[in-house]
Structure 1
């Protein structure tokens, strides 16, 4: 297939592009390589893809409507995976306009291009952050997500609503994936595992928010990519069991689905740090801090719907995943 992957120089997008190329798909990567975090890491990910025979790349932003329209007209993608976005919960407190530009305006450009170019299926990144102040665990796609606690979360909830509108009005099949704390080699430098590893190796203290009383559904990158591919290959249709008198946010009478994509095995943050210390062979100095605005104390994914519909079963333990990350980090940064 011809598949457009936005955010192709990102953590998930680069690994997904690699897997799609390995199975024989033709991939056009789309990314603006912005400086939200070190562009050199994005360039290094991209350098692994550029030599591939069936890979092409367009450097542009989702906010650039002309660039989006040109790519769709030239490449004529059959399916689209939209992973490009302004990421980060905490940064949304500092620069809220970046989230409206990339995550709302940019996503509208993707929806319009899919609508007018006969795209068979749009898969897009949502986030576990949409569950906001919900206390019921595990988080299920049938739960209400009307109480986000960051603008980032609100932008992702908005994406789900926008996608549903296009599925309903124009018959565009869409699938939203609520990612739960993705980690692994080539990961994002603004994420906890990266920050912790860098500081522990350097002998600096690590900031541990909520006094370490977090738990997170840490999900290894290979498991995430497997789930993305399984959903990409399964074009949704209207849900014949959808009841408008008792509606669920997860399905619709339109060709629309939302899934959690997580490990379904939450880990306490202090345990996560212990495993990292073991992999590094070095103890961490902890700087215990209160809960940050916009953060939630705990996450846990109910992945029953994704398992039922695609056979998705995450395989990677944190012991294996963290060990692989540390091995990559030491080699990449020569430390």
Structure 2
């Protein structure tokens, strides 16, 4: 299968690219190479005969048409998105343009290509989204595929809008789509502005480790390579026009998560004092959702997928990866906004 992956130089997208190449697929990696993208993420497959790269912005419709004509993909996996909630608070415009207008352009380019190819039944447009579109949970309950949308941030609102566009193109035009909504990802190549890499890198630098509010916000953590495996499974075997929630079944409060990372660092790279001494509670961000949790029953029962990595195993792998790949993360630390407090409203 030849797969067009948008955002394939990003964190999750690059994991999909690496896994797809490893599984024997052809991959066209389409990425605008904005601040969070890094071609080093796909260096291990860059010279593979089944890999191609196109530097294209999904906001550029004409360029998208050219890519579809040139490469004639069998499927699209749409991961390109602005994704950092804090940045969406400070500058929502980029999120509207990329996540909504960009998705519209990609849908239209895909529809044009699909129609001109004679509406092949095997074509798929796989839209990858987030559990944040469902809003915030209390202490109990989980998000299912039937949960009503209730986005609370500019980021989640823009992703919710893109989900609705994809469903509308399926219903109105018959475009063959599948959708997935995932919980929080973590693992190798995670851009160093998100919580887990911030904790690791601040700890290694002896800097304060910031935790929003009292650290009680809960997330379901999904190891990125588990997620890539699930995404490729849904692309190939998911039911047409159906959505699947992908969760790690690893709920942790932010404070618990940070304490676990500190304990791992204490073992792998001991410092003069415990890393947990660096934990500092800071003013919460506006509209901070209290809890996310995914019910993965549908993907488990219909497709037989379950996460294979516990959060303790995944964090151990992740911390070790950052210890082993200092050249990768140091090169990114000077990029716009990295290391700064964003999203204060």
TM-score, with structure 1 as normaliser: 0.89
Equivalent position SS for 2:43:
helix
Contact kept in structure 2, 1:181 and 1:217, CA below 8 Å = yes
After superposition, residues 122-201 of structure 1 pair within 5 angstroms as 122-135=125-138, 137-145=141-149, 147-201=150-204
State how many pairs are aligned. 312
Partner of 2:265: 280
Render the CA deviation track for 1:266-297: whole Å, top value 9, x for unaligned.
11222212221122114231111243113211
How far off is 1:235 after superposition? 4.8
After superposition, residues 296-307 of structure 1 pair within 5 angstroms as 296-307=289-300
Contact kept in structure 1, 2:137 and 2:290, CA below 8 Å = no
Contact kept in structure 2, 1:174 and 1:257, CA below 8 Å = yes
Equivalent position SS for 1:295:
coil
Equivalent position SS for 2:181:
strand
Partner of 1:54: 50
How far off is 1:46 after superposition? 3.1
Equivalent position SS for 2:28:
strand
CA–CA distance in 2 between the matches of 1:288 and 1:274? 13
Render the CA deviation track for 1:272-324: whole Å, top value 9, x for unaligned.
12221122114231111243113211111111111122111001111111111
**Aligned with residue 88 of structure 1, among 84, 88, 103:** 84
Q: Which moved more, 1:131-140 or 1:42-51?
A: 131-140
Q: Does 1:78 align with 2:81?
A: no
Partner of 1:240: none
Contact kept in structure 2, 1:175 and 1:258, CA below 8 Å = yes
TM-score, with structure 2 as normaliser: 0.87
Partner of 1:330: 323
CA–CA distance in 2 between the matches of 1:270 and 1:152? 23
Contact kept in structure 2, 1:89 and 1:295, CA below 8 Å = no
Contact kept in structure 2, 1:173 and 1:235, CA below 8 Å = no
CA RMSD, aligned part only? 1.6
How far off is 1:150 after superposition? 0.7
Render the CA deviation track for 1:197-254: whole Å, top value 9, x for unaligned.
01111111111012111111011011111110110002533xxxxxxxxxxxxxxxxx
Partner of 2:305: 312
Contact kept in structure 1, 2:88 and 2:154, CA below 8 Å = yes
Render the CA deviation track for 1:38-89: whole Å, top value 9, x for unaligned.
x5xx121132231111100001110011111100011011100000011111
Render the CA deviation track for 1:15-50: whole Å, top value 9, x for unaligned.
111111112111100001111x4x5xx121132231
CA–CA distance in 1 between the matches of 2:154 and 2:324? 36
CA–CA distance in 2 between the matches of 1:265 and 1:322? 11
Contact kept in structure 1, 2:210 and 2:282, CA below 8 Å = yes
Rate the CA distance shift 1:134–1:319 in 2: closer, same or farther, 3 A: closer
Contact kept in structure 1, 2:124 and 2:177, CA below 8 Å = yes
CA–CA distance in 1 between the matches of 2:287 and 2:4? 32
Q: Does 1:266 align with 2:262?
A: no
Equivalent position SS for 1:297:
coil
CA–CA distance in 1 between the matches of 2:66 and 2:162? 22
In the alignment, structure 2 segments of 5+ residues that lack a partner are 115-119, 267-273, 331-345
